[in-house]
Chain A
């Protein structure tokens, strides 16, 4: 257990359905990141929050993707109208404070879109 909890661990869905992933970071960490990892690739940055504020979004994050961190604690990543190309491992990471520069990753949520 890394201290960063992600749910669900696995999600299989049909194309066109909506899915939501949840990340609970380490409690005292105020920065939270979402990454996506596909087979044979390294993790790719999607977005990050400092407390409840979403401060940057990657161009990878199309308008079907939305992320929230409503109270600066847990975060959700929703994918609407899923496509087969969305199949990937979605990783959450947290950082103890801005500038600490060390991310702690969760185990990830694997999405399979049929």
Chain B
């Protein structure tokens, strides 16, 4: 079945620490990959996306993600987190087909301590 796995459910970091959040998907064909972020009390916002081309994609606020096809992974990274990065992060995959519906992971709650 088409699924998305986020292995880190809750991450606590100190400011300036580096961040890497894991995301794996289940399908071996062509996929479009996304990271969404939800800040406390706010709506889901697109952080970055990968459709094709350079597997290292850069998003807003210094985030980047790397698509590794052989590992079915799309991990999110940031070299130095800030307190304002405290949020819930969702990986999402579009497995194709007519609907363009997204399959979301369960999310990773990131708490950055000042």
Contact call B51/A42, Cβ cutoff below 8 A? no
Q: Find out whether the CB atom of A48 lies under 8 angstroms from the CB atom of B101.
A: yes
B100 and A101: CB pair below 8 A? Answer: yes
Q: In this complex, which of B92, B94, B104, B106 has the most chain A Cβ atoms within 10 angstroms of its Cβ? A: B104
Q: Mark B74-110, 1 if CB is under 8 A from A, else 0.
A: 0000000000000000101010001111111111000
Across the interface, B46 reaches (CB within 8 A) one of A42, A44, A55, A102, namely A102
Residue count of chain B within 8 Å CB distance of chain A = 23
A40-B106, A108-B43 known; A99-B100 Cβ under 8 A: yes
Question: Contacts A42-B92, A43-B44, A91-B44; is A103 near B107 (CB within 8 Å)?
Answer: no
CB-contacts of B34-91 with A (<8 A): 36, 42-46, 49, 51, 90
A2 at the interface (CB under 8 A from B): yes
Shortest CB–CB separation between residue A91 and chain B, in angstroms?
A: 7
Which residues of A lie under 8 Å from residue B99 when comparing CB positions? 45, 48, 55-56
Query: Which residues of A line the B interface, CB within 8 A?
Result: 2, 31, 33, 40-45, 48, 55-56, 91, 95, 98-99, 101-108
Cross-chain pairs A/B with CB under 8 angstroms, 17 sampled = A2-B43, A40-B106, A40-B107, A42-B92, A45-B99, A45-B101, A48-B99, A48-B101, A56-B99, A95-B100, A99-B100, A101-B49, A101-B51, A102-B46, A104-B46, A105-B45, A107-B42
